[in-house]
Amino acid sequence: MRILKKPIQFDWDKGNIKKNLIKHNVAISESEEVFSDINKILLKTANKKYNEKRGILIGTTKNRRLLFTVYTIRKDKIRIISVRDAHKKERIIYEKRIKTT
């Protein structure tokens, strides 16, 4: 993934906004908060199904909700593809990271 030189900006697909809210009960503003988490975990995906690089971010919101986020960077903006509550294995990964920092 590229490092963005400008402040973080988001670009949303209208369908994904609705999908993430209905399916996972995650609003736009809440999903953007995880990018500010100082303990966030960034991972790369190896899935070649898409014609773009995608990243995975595990991080907490201001209300301490741990979210699993799939995103990509398009035209220097972050586009969130999917966001949901972190599963048990993802929580363990995040908690281990916090204990070691």
pLDDT number for residue 3: 52
For residue 7, tell me if it sits in a domain: no
Instruction: Give me the residues of the chain with pLDDT under 50, please.
Output: 1-2, 4
For residue 5, tell me if it sits in a domain: no
For residue 1, tell me if it sits in a domain: no
Count of structural domains, the chain: 1
High-pLDDT (> 90) share of the chain, %: 52
Residue 94 sits in which domain range? 14-100
For residue 32, tell me if it sits in a domain: yes
pLDDT number for residue 1: 45
**84-92 LR contacts (CB < 8 Å, sep 24+):** 84/20, 84/23, 84/24, 84/26, 85/24, 85/26, 86/58, 90/58, 90/66, 91/66
pLDDT number for residue 90: 94
